Amino acid sequence: MSVAETTDRPVVVEYRMPRGVNRPRQHPERWFAHLALLLISVGFILPFAWMLSTSFKRLEDTANFPPQWIPDPFMAKNYKTVLNHPKMHFLMFTRNTLIVATLAVVGTTLSSAVVAYGFAKIRFKGRGALFAVMLATMMIPFPVIMVSMFAIFRWLGDHNMGQWLGTYKPLWAPAWFGSAFNIFLLRQFFLTIPDELSEAARIDGCSEFGIFWRIVLPLSRPALAVVALFTFMWAWNDFLGPLVYLQDQDQYTLSLGLQTFQSMHGGTEYNLLMAASVLVILPVIVLFFMTQKTFIQGIATTGVKG
Amino acid sequence: MTKKDWQQLGKGLAFLSPWLVGFAVFTALPIVMSFWFSLCDYTLLQKPVYVGLENYRTLVWGENPAGGYGDPWFWKSLWNTARFAAMFLPSAMVVSLGLAMLLNAKIRGQAIYRTIIFLPSLVPAVASAMVWLWIYNADYKQGLINAYLMKLGLDPVGFLALKEWAMYALVFMSLWGVGNTVVIYLAGLQDVPKELYEAAEIDGAGMWRQTWHVTIPMISPVIFFNLIMGIIGSLQTFATPYILTDGLGRPERSLHFFAMYLYDNAFQYLKMGHASAMSWIMLVIILAWTAVAFWSSKRWVHYQGK
């Protein structure tokens, strides 16, 4: 992982040791850490392993006692069954989720970057106060505003301003107006870009938007990637939003679709349920492994520099 | 203000405009509206009718025909939420700080351990609820934990079926997803200057005293950040208990959370007035706790002078 392993503290008596002695072996603490991490890691993997194992079992084998970890027979067919299940339109749910996630990602990345540029690079009266207000909005959770948001979208529909409820729009449209968290993250990054660059461009007659678009944005790819990634994950995982706004089952996202499938005939086909869960998790995990460095740095930055 | 100032202001506001509009429409307006709704009898079907503090009275302090004061389900959901926060926040803090320290030790395979502990935090709430429903299953032949309890000669436990157990089960499974916080702590630990540990070591401080007198004070800003995010996060807990319990908060409403009852009021019973009052109560609780955290932080959060 990206975080450098440099925090080992030198031991004062070290110089007395003969050269060539492998220092790590001398530390009981280190052995303890090794052992503890090994055990904890096994514990953290177990739910994944059990999910994977169950997903390859026949339904009757899911109830074997004692628990059977290696499925026999190995039912890779379960995944095919899930993908073509008449009660759970997995592919359609995936498509729906991707629509919402893509629109949210594009919208929030663009708009948050524009706003972050204003906060980072343009000096004007009241900027500090507005920035404080923006930070404060991060504390307002969705449940606090969801009733009014629902009422607003309903009102828009009733007043000939397009249908909102029962469409994907309420799920992605707000993202096009910037989100406080992303604006904050990008602003922190923009601040590290030296002003000399923009000054030089300004002297060459570049407009403010030109500086933003042609100089600052291209230099900020890592930060933009973090914002895009986090937003995608958020949209992929979101449950309450789709639950409130979507009405027709054909529009459900994966989260909502999977929950509905489970609650309609839950407790029965755990092998299929686990296969579906694996399929929901898989893209997220793959995405993580593809972007590990960016990802971890993004989380670390928000927590430490915040 | 000079002409230049006005120009700068114009430019700044132009860049901020997406957020300014978004803030007005998707944050400020909903909050004001929900305050108005909270003072009204409002079912979505008819126009809101002003009733003063009636909604708050019914929920919080009004005498209940069935005995007691306020709405018992309101109080139950608030109590459950507080109980969850009181159990989860401290344990998550200890677990994630402990894990971060272990993951900060210089040992072989550290990158793998870090990845393993981080991965569960990526799992969408729906998928993780599915897995844990399956692991906690009360039928010993199916539930993983109960199967092993039986093998050890113990009685199976209805982890999610008994009101005495459900909350602990939820806290335990939530700790599985603590990896996000671990990464933040880990980054904080790596920012602590090594010299401090060297100095402490020379002064004869052992591992525990180094932890208590160097590590904790040095990363207290990170702890503080996580505490605030944790409070806000716990208060809006929704998806996991909702999915685990089919939205019912069973058994005996022991997993019925504040945000769930808010949702029920709004979209099951169409009592938008009650739901909005709950929104405002939630907002006030969040503000109050954040204020307490900020106020107390003067005593225990140490910022490095830069």
Helices (H) and strands (E) in chain B, counts: 16, 2
**pLDDT value at residue B140:** 72
User: Environment class of residue A30 by beta-carbon count within 10 Å: exposed (0-12), middle (13-18) or buried (19+)?
Assistant: middle
pLDDT category at A219 given cuts 50, 70, 90 is very high
Write the pLDDT tens digit of every residue in A85-104.
888 889 999 999 999 999 99
Domain boundaries, chain B: 79-269
User: What are phi and psi for residue A263, nearest 5 degrees?
Assistant: -75, -25
**pLDDT value at residue B276:** 95
Cross-chain Cβ contact B122/A270 below 8 Å = no
Rg (C-alpha) for chain A, rounded Å, is 25
**A52 Cβ contact list (under 8 Å, min separation 6):** A274, A278
**pLDDT value at residue A6:** 39
Return the exposure string of B3-27: e unless at least 16 CB atoms fall within 10 Å of the residue's CB, then b.
eeeeebbebbbebbbbbbebbeebb
pLDDT at residue A78 above 50? yes
Mutation site, B31, B110, B112, B126, interface A, largest A CB count within 10 A: B126
Chain A closest-CA separation from residue B90 CA (Å): 18
**pLDDT value at residue A20:** 45
Q: Cα–Cα–Cα angle for B129, B134, B135, nearest 5°? A: 100
Quick one: CA torsion of B258, B240, A104, A137, rounded to 10 degrees?
A: 30
**pLDDT value at residue A15:** 39
Q: Answer yes or no: are the C-beta atoms of A109 and A227 closer than 8 Å.
A: yes
**pLDDT value at residue A18:** 44
Q: Give me the total of CB pairs closer than 8 Å, taking one residue from chain A and one from chain B.
A: 315
Cα-to-chain-centroid distance, residue A42: 24
pLDDT at residue A8 above 50? no
Q: What percent of chain B clears pLDDT 70, i.e. is strictly above it?
A: 99
pLDDT at residue A73 above 50? yes
**pLDDT value at residue A24:** 46
Domain boundaries, chain A: 12-76, 90-264
Cα gap B197→B214, rounded to integer Å: 7
CATH homologous superfamily for the domain A90-264 = MetI-like (1.10.3720.10)
Q: What percent of chain A clears pLDDT 90, i.e. is strictly above it?
A: 55
**pLDDT value at residue B107:** 86
**pLDDT value at residue A86:** 84
What ipTM was assigned to the predicted interfaces of this complex? 0.89
**pLDDT value at residue A267:** 59
Q: Cα–Cα–Cα angle for B239, B141, A60, nearest 5°? A: 90
User: Environment class of residue B57 by beta-carbon count within 10 Å: exposed (0-12), middle (13-18) or buried (19+)?
Assistant: middle
pLDDT category at A11 given cuts 50, 70, 90 is very low
Q: Name residue, tokens 């700044």.
A: B12
**pLDDT value at residue A14:** 37
How much is the mean pLDDT over chain A? 86
Chain B closest-CA separation from residue A297 CA (Å): 9
Low-confidence ranges of chain B (pLDDT < 50): 306
CATH code reported for the domain at B79-269 = 1.10.3720.10
Q: Name residue, tokens 């199916």.
A: B142
What residues of chain A, 72 to 131, have a C-beta less than 8 Å from chain B? 111, 114-115, 117-119, 122-127, 130
Cross-chain Cβ contact B282/A119 below 8 Å = no
Write the pLDDT tens digit of every residue in B241-261.
999 998 898 888 999 999 999
